[in-house]
A and B are shown apart, each in its own frame.
Chain A
Amino acid sequence: MSRTWIVIPLFNEAPVIGSVIKDLLPEFPHVVCVDDGSTDTSAQAARAAGAVVVQHPVNLGQGAALQTGFEYVLQDPEMSCVVTFDADGQHRVSDAAAMVARIQSGEADVVLGSRFLDSRTRIGPVKRMVLRTAAVQSRWSTGMPLTDAHNGLRAFNRHVVSNIHLTQNRMAHASELIQILAALKPRWTEHPVEIIYTQYSKSKGQSLLNSVNILADLLFR
Chain B
Amino acid sequence: MIIIVQVVLVLVVIFFSLMLVRGGSNAKHMAVRRIMVMLFAISAVLSIFFPTLLSQLARLVGVGRGTDLMLYAFIVSFLVYMSTTHQRFRQTETTLTKLSRRIALDEAERPWESMPAVPGSGVSAPAVPGSAVPGAGVSGQTSKETVASHPGQGL
Contact A29 to B152, CB < 8 A, known contacts A78-B112, A167-B94, A169-B97: yes
Whether B149 contacts A75 by the Cβ 8 Å rule is no
Whether B121 contacts A54 by the Cβ 8 Å rule is no
A3–B145 Cα gap in the complex (Å)? 20
A-B pairs with beta carbons under 8 A, tally: 76
Interface size of B as a range: 20 to 34
Residues of chain A with a CB closer than 8 A to B123's CB: 77-78
A51: min CB distance to chain B, Å: 8
Interface size of A as a range: 20 to 34
A36: min CB distance to chain B, Å: 9
B115: min CB distance to chain A, Å: 9
Binds B, one of A63-71, A144-152, A174-182: A63-71
Interface residues of B in 119-145 (CB under 8 A from A): 121-123, 142, 145
Residues of chain B with a CB closer than 8 A to A68's CB: 101, 104-105
Contact A220 to B93, CB < 8 A, known contacts A48-B145, A50-B149: no
A60 within 8 A of B: yes
Residues of chain B with a CB closer than 8 A to A78's CB: 112, 118, 121, 123
Interface residues of A in 30-66 (CB under 8 A from B): 30, 32, 34, 47-58, 60, 64
Interface residues of A in 78-117 (CB under 8 A from B): 78
B interface residues (Cβ-Cβ under 8 A, vs A): 86, 90, 93-94, 96-97, 100-101, 103-105, 107-112, 118, 121-123, 142, 145-146, 148-153, 155
A interface residues (Cβ-Cβ under 8 A, vs B): 1, 3, 25, 29-30, 32, 34, 47-58, 60, 64, 67-68, 71-72, 75-78, 167, 169, 220-221
8 tightest A-B CB contacts, nearest first: A50-B149, A54-B108, A1-B118, A29-B152, A76-B112, A56-B100, A68-B101, A54-B104
